[in-house]
Structure 1
Amino acid sequence: EQYLWLTPAAFLLYYVIIATFIYVIYTYRKGKTEMKHKLELEYRLRLKEEKLHEEKLEFFTNIAHELQTPLTLIMGSVEHQKQQQASTDPSNDVLGLVHQQASRLAYLIEQLMEFRKAEEGHLQPQLQLMNASGFFSSIASLFIHFRESNRVQYTYEIEEGITMNGDPDKLEKIVFNLLSNAFKYTSHGEKIHFRVYRNPVTSALEISVANSGHDIPSAEMEKLFDKFFTGNTPRKFSSGLGLAFTKQLVELLGGTISAYCRDNWAFFNISFPLPQQKAVTDISIAPVHPSLLIRTIAKEPGSKQLISAAANNKSTLLQSLEDNRPIILIVEDEAPIRQLIRTLLGEHYLVYEAANGKEALDCMTRFIPHLIITDVMMEDMDGLELCKQVKNIPDTCHVPVLMLSARGTIDQQHEGYDAGADAYLPKPFHNEHLLGRVKQLLSNRQRLHDYFRSKATIAGNLPQGMDDTDRRFICSLVEIITADLENCELDATHLETGMAMSRMQLYRKIKTISGMTPAEFIRNVRLQKAAELLETTKLTVSEIFFQTGFNNQSYFFREFKKKYQRSPNEYRAANKVESSL
């Protein structure tokens, strides 16, 4: 009898065990090799990404160096010019705006230079004993006037009597960056709260900036402090270098910073170690105030023109009661840009404003502009979505749209044209270029008005390049009129019923496309049909004016001569001569 361990079944089991062992060893070694290769690849990619960041920083730092000299000349020249002019001079408003924006650019360049120093380990804190409560209160108060212009609820709470050894320059940049970020990316009607206090448990100085209206994934919140992070939630928070620089400054001062979302609020919390100190009582501690650069950037506009869009729209509405200039709607979230465009166009056009696409659509329920000038990147509704909606609404599809954007690549411009834009102007733009494009777009509309007044609309020869929606609208309108042309009581009410539109909608649409009121449009079609009958039939003039819905011969003769500069009989005779030739 054969031993059990020498049977074929036993050898098969041995084979399976050995094969399994070899397979496990092979799989383990393969997995280990793949993991090593993956880690090495990730390491190389990380090195490549770091190198790319370094190259970006080096590039931007070099540009910043080059910009410092011309920027110094600009700011110095503007300051000198302001000092030379009287405070009541209207040009001081423009100079003030230029100086404020130049200061903003100087601040960005300064941040970039310091960020580079921090990256290389050359940025050192300059500590001094300071009244932290008074310092942070001064910075917080700089943002009060933004409540109205941004239409947000801004509150701040600063605990009294806090002193610290701190670096005013770097603390100023930290708080200013966070508050600027909050105001920039908080929608209308939302809340911003700034708080500074001493934590009773840890004896740390706590700084908190919170704003409502945000629900960003935790994974993205953690990456907000990464250099050049853009994320998948556009227009929610600044990426680039602003927050990365803020984190560097916080850590340079020995603090920590964190960001998270909770209950539709975004929180940015900073903590600095703060030794137990008595409240500020020593008058020898000199007060520290925000820098001149920060005060200039955050300064409330002295210009009376830089007020809310709603206030400007009320003023324009009052002007429109006695003014028939073309209406232009500016849609731009940056108030200084709106002011610039309004200043350029205000002399020749009635200018309304909106801060985003939603506000623009709301404005267009009250009036239809002759032209829309819109930025692309905006909160709530961007320019692309606005353009799509404008072109899909029957009341507004004929309105030309001019897009302005810093995104000036060919692909980005194609994106604008695909949305229905009639023209695209990259920022920064020259004033004359903008004025020329506006004039061109409005001239095209005026030529269309002239065409409708001079050419026939009943023969199907509508102008080439006319919007398809507008073409269908006019054809339907003419079809309704010609079907009941002999009815002398045909008026706008019949058109409202036939087109299923309200009186105001019909009036706006006809007026904008043709430049005529509904009554003028009906009369124009009657006269064009009368001219056609005079050319192609032997009907008498009396028969023709009855067939075209006129019930008063003298009125028919007067209106016909006004349009064609000839009486009906002279028109028929002239066309017979022309046809015989």
Structure 2
Amino acid sequence: MRSIFQDDQGFMWFGTKDGLNRFDGTSFKIFKFSPDTNLRDNVFLRILQDKHHNIWVSTEDGVYVYDTYMEKFHRFDRVTSKNEKVEGVVSDMITDEDGDIWMAVEEKGVFHYDISKDELIFYSIPLVVDGMKMMALCQDDNNMIWVCPYSRPFLLIDKRTRKVSEFNLNDDDHFLYAIGEVSDVLADQYNQLLVATSQKGLISINIINKTHRVLLDKDPNGDPLFVRCLERIDNNTLWVGTESGVYVYDTDTEIAINLRSNLIPTSLSDNAIYSIYKDNNGGIWVGSYFGGVNYYPNRNTYFEIYYPIENENSISGQRVREFCEAPDGKLWIGTEDKGLNLFDPVSCTFLSLPKPLRSLYTNIHALYEDRDKLWISTFSKGLNKYDVKTGKLETYTHSDDPKSISQNSTFALCKDRQNVLWIGTLAGVNIYNYDDESFTKVDELKGISIQDIFEDTEGKIWISTFVNGLYQFNPSIKKWKVFLHDATDPYSLPYNKVTSVFEDSKKRLWVTTQGGGFGLFDRKSETFFTYNSSNGLPNDVVYQIKEDNFGNLWLSTNAGLVWFNPEKKSFKNYTVEDGLKTNQFNYKSSYKAPDGTLYFGSIDGFVRFNPAYFKEDNVVPPIVFTDFYLNNSPANVSDKNSPLKESILYTQSIQLPYNKNSFAIKYAILSYSGFYPKNVVYKLEGFDREWISTNGTQSIVYSNLNPGKYRLIISFDSDSSSGINKVMKTLDIIVNPPFWKTWWAYLFYVVCVVSSVFLITSYFHQRTKKLQQNKMQIFEREKEKELYESKIDFFTNVAHEIRTPLSLIKAPLEQILKNDTLQTEVKDNLEVMSKNTDRLLDLTNQLLDFRKTEAELYKLNEKVANVSHVAREILERFMPLAKQKNIAFTLKLPEKDIIAKIDVEAFIKVISNLINNIKYCDSFVNVSFDCSTEDESNYFLNFVTENDGSIIPDQFKNEVFKPFTRLNKERDKIVTGTGIGLALTKSLTELLKGSITYRVENNLNVFQVTFPIEVLNDNKLVEDEQKKGEIPVKTEEEMKEKSKKRPLVLLVEDDLGMRDFLVKCLNIHYDIEVASNGDEALSVLKNKNIDLVVSDIMMPKMDGFELTSHIKSNIEFSHIPVILLTAKVNVQSKVQGFEVGADGYIEKPFSVEVLLAQIASLLQNREKFREAFLKCPFIGMNNVELNKSDEEFLQKLDEVIQNNIANPDFNVEDLADQFFMSKASFYRKIKGVLDITPNEYLRIARLKKAAQL
């Protein structure tokens, strides 16, 4: 520890050979060599502070200055006019009375820095030679700067004239050459220089006479004294740091007391002392070479502590139990671990014991001296009586003699005014009879453990017990009374473990307890007023009470000594921080000397003090803020965007942004003596209403503060610091609002509001004028929309209604055209009718498709197809029309067929509608078709048509894609019509995620359709779905060969004309039953053995889907095939039909031949299964094709028969009951599925089982 310094804030600075340390009483802040600190050396030799609050430190590598405001070091790099600078080992550094800095640089000279002029001056000293060692500096009362080099004459620098002169002694001009190293030098008011040297110890030089004296030159061993540092404590006290400890030197008496390191814990930690410093509170800091720093506080309390050490003049034991004053003023002191001691309060020494007492039992619990007799109570070894004059020692122990003492463990002794000696034991109370030296037992306290016995001024005896409360004996009336603790009575005894009773100078009785505090006894009401930890007592274990000469009570506790003012009812606690050896005291261990000195025994020696010498400590240590944290991160001055513009030590106000409104601040109490108010409180004005205790922590935290102005106040709680004046440290904190809550933002809001009011007023004024116009426009748009929807709905309904009559026209025409006997003219007319029927059917389909696209009900059904082939077929259909109109029709297709996944139906409709516009052409149409790609994964299909029809005006280009519009070239305007071709094309193209455009090129109308496709490498063309399902139809004769009975077909159709037509067509091959809806059909099914059902979908009451679902979900009918006829041509309707179980699905208008083929195919498949079963009854059900319901029915049928195969009485009725069916229904089911009776099936099943066995 090379140097010690206290700055103007109160921080202690310690310069070591391993860094610079700043201490705030609790924690250290360490500065070391690093790029962050700008320090280049870790050895710090001297520390001081200039008048600008900067900390200057000298090192072995020059001088560094710490800016306390910006918390940053910088190297002192000023140069003189001759370019000299401070570098190397700076052995000493001082400030003069003007605040200038003086620096002694080894092997170089002295630098003077004029801080006001920012000027550096170098003094070249003639005697400075190479190898010159350490120099010391000081300033005397004449403002002369003394330079004390190594073994050289001293030098004086006149600051005014800047002259350097040599100083040598008159009495011995060679003496200064022999002093060795000068570590420190002081100038006093008596024109004396006190010089610390390595060879001559401490010397004094008279500046006027130029004479010297050696004050200290030998250590206790007689060796030369190496003096390293000096510190003046007061006018006549000098602390001298040496290699042999500290010498406290009285300059008046010239007496020195040597303080050295020894086994005492409170002694110096090391004898090599390098620095001594007296702080602002008078405390003395002692820095050593190996032992760190030691602190000797300047206390306002004077506790003398005595405890056992390895010294003859020491108390023998630690556990001090009893004090007893001898007639000569000396003190007998009993301990529980080392026996008896005799203490001389005057000389503060422990005297040698008489020989009989040296071997006395060590565990002593009570002492009492009477008539030159010293009574000594011990634990387990009886009661001893020592004759002080004769030296005779007698021991009383328990025996069979009834007059012997009742117990060998005696704890209390008390002689009352009637010369009765009361003896308290572990099991009761005895009274000693002086006449026959016998003992009498007190029956009332038999078996009770006694703690203490006391007689008050009224002559009453008070007996404290370990656990049985407090006993009182009144000798005048021979009456006993006991006081016990009652938890329900606050005025009862504080606790049943009573340690002592004390009576003060005002005759007030005080009772101490172990665990309940202490109480004041009211003699009149015989009640207690209790003092404990709830009303200010630091600890509830109270051993003893003594009163000082000022009427105050001193209490020994387990938490130190407690001063108590009975009038003010105030407490002050003294602990080891105030100079005590321990905080835990002992039973029955207190004494007050005639001069007012108080003694208290503890578990580690005893303490004595005289409260008269105590003085009130009104010095309040400063509180400083040391660290600031923002949103849990440290905020430093050097940080970017830091709210700190200077160190938190000097900051008076902090502004925080609204989004960084949580902070923590650490504080320090710059007190080093340990005695200062412990209860620190704080409050944030503008946020807190009450003071908040820090509870011993040294940090304050606030989170999520609203924008506003706050003031943080921190202070000592005066109530808990026993009258110490309250001081405060404040910090203003401003949380800035977000930009939208600033004053200029509010100004902007006002402007916006005013502007808004103006704009809104103007808006409503304009709105009122246009309101009627807008209402009219809305009304017209709604009417237009309603008209459009009504058109769509009308044409859609008409299309649905037309499809059924078209079927009645188309089907008979097909039948008639098959007649080869028709005349040619008639046949030509009929073919014209057929073509127009197909044309009308195409128009109705377009209307229905457009409605689906408008309602977003059209679902794409993509499949793999040869797109080139499909396009070629579409174009070939229009060749006859082109020839008929004499239109040149050219077609350009890609060389290689395009195989892709598309919706063929939508593709055909889009291309057909585009090519259909050839009817508006004059002479030619060009059609081109190709496939393009942006990359290898994205392909686009391009279809372009060009024609020489009327050019559409620019203003109508977008109108051509709207429904129900066409171009009237005579009037050259758009008129409403029935055309929906281009509108349907546009809707389907967009559904295919493509686009359709119209443009004019070379005076030609150009329509182009482009949409993405998924091109496949597989060249296999997917055939038409209907071709896959075609099955050869067997002739009627072939059917008759299988069975003479014709199949019974149920026809369900609500349209009478269609129903009659179908009956005529089907009656040729099948027997027919008819029904007009699903409900009637179900009734027919229950009463007839129907072989197949042909049903329309759209019917009243129950449609075809519901009818099919009922048939397929009913086990009685699930085997019957169902064919659905419908005008619903979309894929979703087909899927729904097959999902409910339909076996066939035919669209209207339909071919009768296709219907007959479907019926024949389904009946033949059913007949094949029956024939297979009849020919091979042992075939498994898994080898034939059945629907799921029939498969489950037959599996359950086999399972039921197998479970009852051994029952000869099991018959068809039992079998039908297993399926919850009537016998007739069960018969129809088996007959319908297998064409055999249930009895036949049961017989076959039994034959199967027999064959297996």
The TM-score normalised by the length of structure 1 is 0.41
The structure, 1 or 2, with the larger RCO (C-alpha pairs under 8 Å, 6+ apart) is 1
The TM-score normalised by the length of structure 2 is 0.20
Decide which structure has greater strand share.
Answer: 2
Which one has the largest radius of gyration? 2
